[in-house]
Structure 1
Amino acid sequence: MPGQCKDDSTCKKKAPGYACVSVQTTRERVRDVKQCLPNVNTGDTCTGTTPGLCPSFATWPTTYKSISAVCAYILPDAKCAEDGDAKKRGTVNCLELPDDSGDTISVIFGCVDSLVREKRLLFEKKSTSDKLAKLLDYPTIISKMCVNPNASDILCSGQGTCGPKNQGSLNFTCLCNVGYAGKFCQRIDSNRCTNEGQCAAGTCNLSKQECECEEGTTGNQCAFCDPSSPKACNGKGSCNLSATRMPRRLSVVSGSMPVSSTLQKSNTSEKSTTNSKGIDPQSNTNAGSAMMRSQNGNTPEGFYGTDQQGGTCMCSRGWNGAQCDRSPVQNSTTTPSQESTSGARGLQATHALISTLIALALFN
C-alpha cells in the first residue's frame, strides 16, 4: 500500500526527513495503519507537542479508505518530563492544558481514528474517564469543524487532518495535505505531494514532492485520463473531454458515493462548479507536460472541477473506477434494467411453452 511503513527506518530509505506515523484505531481487519510523513521535527506532522498532519488513505484498499485521522490531544503512556529539567529516559515532553477547575492536564498529540471512543483517546463529553473528557467533546468538535455537511462520510474530504489550529487551541479545523486547499480540503491546489498515498492515479515522488502519473492518466494529483494515450482508462473505456452532469460511482478519494460532475473543453478559464456532494473545486492554469507532469487544474474522484486538457473515463459495461480499473463483479442482486430484461425473457419463454402445449393438444 502506498507509503505504508513499519518503522522510521523504512521511511528514511524513501526520503530524508520522513518518519513513520501511526493512526490508533480499533477497527477490525486493519493493521499496520502507519504511513511515511515528512518533517516530523519541523511542525508539519502530528506528534509530541506539535499539531499537524496525520496519514490519509485515499488510495489505500477500501477497508482503510474510511479511516479519518484526528490530530488529537491524548494522555501519554509515559511520564511527562518536568519543566526546566533535561528530558530523562522514559519520559516525554508534554503540553499543559488548563481545565475548568484551574488545574492543568498533561497531554501530547497523537493521530487517532475519528471513530475511536475509548479511554485515553477520543472521549464523549459525558465520559467520566478523566479531566480530559470533560474538557474536550471530540464528537461535537469534529462534526462542527471538519465535516462537510454535503459529504459527511469522511473528514476533510480524505485529503487532510482534523486538528487544532495551533498548539494549545481547542478550535479544530481541516489541515490540508500539500496540494489541496479549501475549508474541507476539497479543492486541488497544485501537483505537489508529500504523501505517497495522495496522488489519485499515480505515485508521489517524495524526493521531488510531486505526483507522477501512470501512463494513461494526467493532471494535478493525477486526477484525469489522458485522451492522447492508448492506455487511457485502462483500455476498458473511453476518455472524454466533455461531459454534462452524468452520475459517477466514485472510490479513490472519498469512497464509493454517487456524485455528478461537469467538465467542459475550453481554451479559456472557466467557472468551477459545485457538485451534489458539496465539492467546490477551483481549476488553475499551471501548464505541464503530458502524463508525467501537471497540466491544468485536474480533479480526482470526489474532487470536481473544469479542465482544459484532461478528461474523465466513461467505462465499458461492467467496469468502474476513476480509470476503469475495477474488475467486473458478479452481483447477486439485479438492477431495474436487468430485472426488466429478465422479466421480458421470462415472458417470452412462457409464451413459447403455451404455444407448444397448444400444438401438442391439437395433434392429439
Structure 2
Amino acid sequence: MSDRTTSRPTRLVLMNPGPVVTDDRVRSALAGPDMCHREPEFSELMTRVRHKVTLVGGGDERHTSVVLTGSGTCAVEAAVTSAVPADGALLVVDNGHYGERFQHIAATYGIRTRRLEFGWAAPVHLAAVDRALADDPGLTHVGVVHHETSSGMLNDVAAIARIAHAHGRQVIVDAVSSIGAERLSLAEDGIDWLAGSANKCLEGAPGLAFVCAARTAFEALGGGPRRTYYLDLYRHHTAQEKAAAPAFTPGIPAFHAFDAALDLALAEGRQARHERYEGLARQLRDGLERLGLELLLPAEQRAAALTAVRIPAGTGYGELHRGLRAEGFVIYGVQEQLAEDFFRLSTMGRMTTGDIALFLTTLARLLPAHR
C-alpha cells in the first residue's frame, strides 16, 4: 500500500480571490517580534503602515488611513456606518454579490437606501445613477464595488464619482479586491471613502482592513452618528492619528506582514503590478479559451485579478475542485445566482507564469473532453 501523503503537492497555489500566495518576505515578517500595542514600537509600525496604505491608494498629503483588525467586510461596514449621516441615505449600485452587501449593511443599521439592481455580471448604466441622484435629493452617498468579485466585473468608479460629485454627493468605494491590481486613486478619481483589505492584491496576510479618505472627512465624523462601537471610524481615526495608538487590541503579526507587503507594492509600483496581474490573467484566459472553455465576461469588462469560467459539460464544480486540489491548485466557486454554472480563478498574489502553465496542463488532463 502506498503512503498517500507522499503524493501531496509541496506547494499549494491559491486561485481563490484571497487569501493569496504571499512572498517569502511577507510570511517571514509574520514571525516579527512580540510587542505591546501601547508601546512606541507598535506606534511606529502602525504609523508606517497607515502612511504606506494611503500612498498605495493614490492619496496625497490631504489624505490619511485608518487600519482595522478584521476582514475587508469590516472596512466596508465601517465606511457605510460612519460616513452616512443620521439624516442621510445610500444609493446602492448593485451588479453582484458585493454590491448587494452594501444593501445588507445599510439595512442592518436602519440606513435608508435606494438600490439600483443591474443584475449579476451586468454593467452599470451611468445614466441610471445620474437619474437616481437627481430624483432623490436625500441620497447623500453612493456605494459601489470597484472589482465585483462575484463575477470578475470591473466597475467604472471614477465615472460614478464624477456623477456623484456633480450632484454634491459622496462615494464609498469597496476596493477590497481591486486595490493593488487596478488603476485606482483617491486623489485622481475623486474617491471620498475607499475600503480595502491587506490580503488580496496587496499580498499581505489575512487579518487587516483599512479605510482611506481625506483628513477633513475623518475629522467631520466627530459630529455624526455612533451606530457602532468597534467600527466607529472617528474613534479609530482619533486614536491612530492623535494618540498614535490603536483604539483596541490589533492583530500585531498581520501588521508586521502588511508592512513588508506594502514595501513590496510600493517598490514594484502600481502600474507595474497592474501589468503583472494583467499578464497572468491574459495567459490564463488564452489557455482556457484554447481548451474550449467559456469565460463569463467580455474582455473589456474583466478585472485583472479574477476570471469566471463556465463549468464544462460532463463534470461539476465539486469534481473539478477535488481533482485540482489533489494536484496543488485551489479553485473557487461562485456565489448564489451563478453558482450552478460557473467557477472562479484568481490570479492574485505571488503567482507565476509557471504556475499558470502547470495549472492549464493539469486542468486539461482533468477535463472530460481530454480524458
TM-score by length of 1: 0.28
Higher helix share: 2
Greater relative CO, 1 or 2 (CA 8 Å, sep 6+): 2
Structure exhibiting the larger radius of gyration computed from Cα positions: 1
TM-score by length of 2: 0.28
Higher strand share: 1
